[in-house]
Amino acid sequence: MFEQAIVDQNPHWGGQPYNEGVRRDVLGKILEFLDLPHIISLVGVRRAGKSTIARQAINYLMGEKGINPKNILFLNLETPQFSRFRNDVASLERIYDDYLKLAAPEGTVYCFLDEVHFFPEWQVFVKDRFERKGIKFIVTGSNSRLLSSEFITLLSGRALPVEVFPFSFAEFARARGLDVGDRLEALRDRHRFRGVFDEYLRFGGFPEIAFIEDSALRKEVLVMYARNILYQDIAPRFGVKKAQELENLFFYLTSNVASLYSFNRLAALVGLTDKTVKEYLSFFADAHLLFTLDSFDFSVKEQIRSPKKIYAIDTGMAAATAFSFSENFGHYLENLVFLALRQQGREIYYYKTATGLEVDFVCREKGALTEFIQVARDLQGEKTRTRELKALFRALEETGLQSGTIVTYEDEDEISEGGRTIRVVPAYRYFCG
């Protein structure tokens, strides 16, 4: 019944590797997990490249591990051939049985289930097959539930979640033929690095967008991405009846990335109830469109009560759906630093000093504060320079840390005061590591 669809989705059975495109940094973590018995779940916003990463893993299995191509099954469950059976979980068993008849695999089977959340009860099939042994599951999805403790508990603690983002700057630079790991090249070819960084800041890191040359088309595609997620994923999944309200709130938030918000203030600004705003924000988070950042406080209660900051999954999408790019230049730069810290797996907050001064990011590790990072478009104006330095030096003094960083568009400096040092780093250098 499903034979043709299975064959069509598995051209690697002929022994030819897939075109990998830009090799993704997160692939290293996935390859480490392949030898473990656990289920691997790749989770991230739509169009971030999860399917491509899965195919890069298939290439590795065939080329480096010598796995028989027919022992590797790839199924995109969102395709019409399969999605019409989405409410019948028994169909997954029938699909897998057809695969066994077609391929007759011997030994461990590597089963890639792409966009797995389209089958609401998929975990029933995966859990049953997993417990029979002899199968390694790698699943992908756009639903944050795949990262949740509820999901991990459901599969008896046997799941290893991996969060997938659009291109980092390092990956975007590789797509442009630059190696950010080569410090000499970054210094020697700094003007080209800056140009590529400008492009990355303005248009973001969605893989498909990186290879579109026309700026207007890039913007159209990014708006389409956003609307597809809002209207085709979020609205039907959560039963949102007034999807236009969903879009209005999302577009307002992308126009105000890196800004503080409270539920009450947002509700008043967009004409919705507090309850609705909270729900919509949770929907955006579930689809990996937007993130919120808490203020650091040793009191969890105060942390929860404090205003939040909002960040977008991609500066290109934020700019395409916002009212103006130039006015938010510094905020988009801050958004990129947030995403870089998230991709590194850092525990991050924003910080308020005892006198109410704000530092954009503070990192915590094993319960201790370890690093302060401030972001500013530039430090050329005396008022801006005084404000940014005062906040950062005060935060260092309060916490006993000796150094901090200010990321700017192109300023570079080192400033010492009272035995403490602040390093001012141009953005393209900061993202080169």
Domain boundaries, the chain: 3-164, 346-433
Q: What was the pLDDT predicted at 302?
A: 76
Question: Residue 201 and residue 164: Cα distance in Å, rounded?
Answer: 19
Average pLDDT of the chain to the nearest whole number: 92
Q: What was the pLDDT predicted at 149?
A: 52
263 near 275, Cβ under 8 Å? no
Q: What was the pLDDT predicted at 269?
A: 86
Question: Residue 45 and residue 222: Cα distance in Å, rounded?
Answer: 13
pLDDT < 70 stretches in the chain? 145-157, 325-326
Dihedral sign for Cα 112, 115, 116, 118, please.
Answer: negative
Q: What was the pLDDT predicted at 61?
A: 98
Q: How many residues does the chain have?
A: 433
Q: What was the pLDDT predicted at 148?
A: 57
Q: What is the pLDDT of residues 63-93, one digit of tens each?
A: 999 999 999 999 999 999 998 899 998 999 9
Q: What ranges make up the beta strands (E) of 277-431?
A: 290-293, 308-312, 347-352, 358-365, 368-375, 403-408, 413-417, 420-426
**CATH architecture of the domain with range 3-164:** 3-Layer(aba) Sandwich (3.40)
257 near 312, Cβ under 8 Å? yes
CB neighbour list of residue 98: distance below 8 Å, 6 or more residues apart: 1, 2, 3, 6
Reduced 3-state DSSP string for 174-221: HHCCCCCCCHHHHHHCHHHHHHHHHHHHHHCCCHHHHCCCCHHHHHHH
Question: Residue 251 and residue 222: Cα distance in Å, rounded?
Answer: 12
392 near 406, Cβ under 8 Å? yes
